[in-house]
């Protein structure tokens, strides 16, 4: 062995990516790998209509109430219906009814409001 051979780096083993390429190639030792077909998921059917609640609160608390609603993962959309009467409409998915009711119970500790039945 010559001194030049001692300094030469050892041959690099094939990388994992190269080994996978060889396995899948028609010229490789192993047959080509075919993944199993994926199971089809049933598509989510979006509701056709939104549920609504009307809330009466102090006009100074609109911003805080909207901030709290957004902080809970955008449960719904708040729209001011009458700023003088301080009425807001909450539109949300019917699938989130339970979460919206839980949010309203929790928000009562921060903001004084009442749910209006229409």
Quote the percentage of the chain above a pLDDT of 90: 47
Residue predicted with more confidence, 108 or 47 = 108
* pTM for the model: 0.58
CA distance 106 to 98: 12
CA distance 48 to 27: 54
CA distance 97 to 28: 57
Quote the percentage of the chain above a pLDDT of 70: 71
pLDDT per residue as tens digits for the range 23-57: 555 555 555 667 777 777 777 777 888 899 999 99
């Amino acid at each position: 062995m010559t001194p030049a051979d001692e300094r030469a780096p050892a041959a690099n083993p094939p990388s994992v990516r190269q080994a996978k390429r060889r396995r899948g190639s028609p010229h490789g030792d192993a047959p080509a790998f075919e993944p199993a077909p994926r199971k089809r998921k049933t598509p989510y059917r979006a509701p056709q209509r939104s549920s609504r609640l009307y809330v009466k609160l102090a006009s100074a608390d609109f911003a805080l109430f909207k901030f709290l609603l957004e902080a809970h993962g955008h449960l719904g959309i708040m729209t001011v219906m009458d700023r003088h009467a301080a009425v807001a409409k909450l539109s949300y998915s019917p699938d989130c009814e339970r979460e919206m009711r839980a949010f309203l119970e929790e928000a009562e500790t921060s903001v004084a409001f009442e749910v209006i039945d229409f």
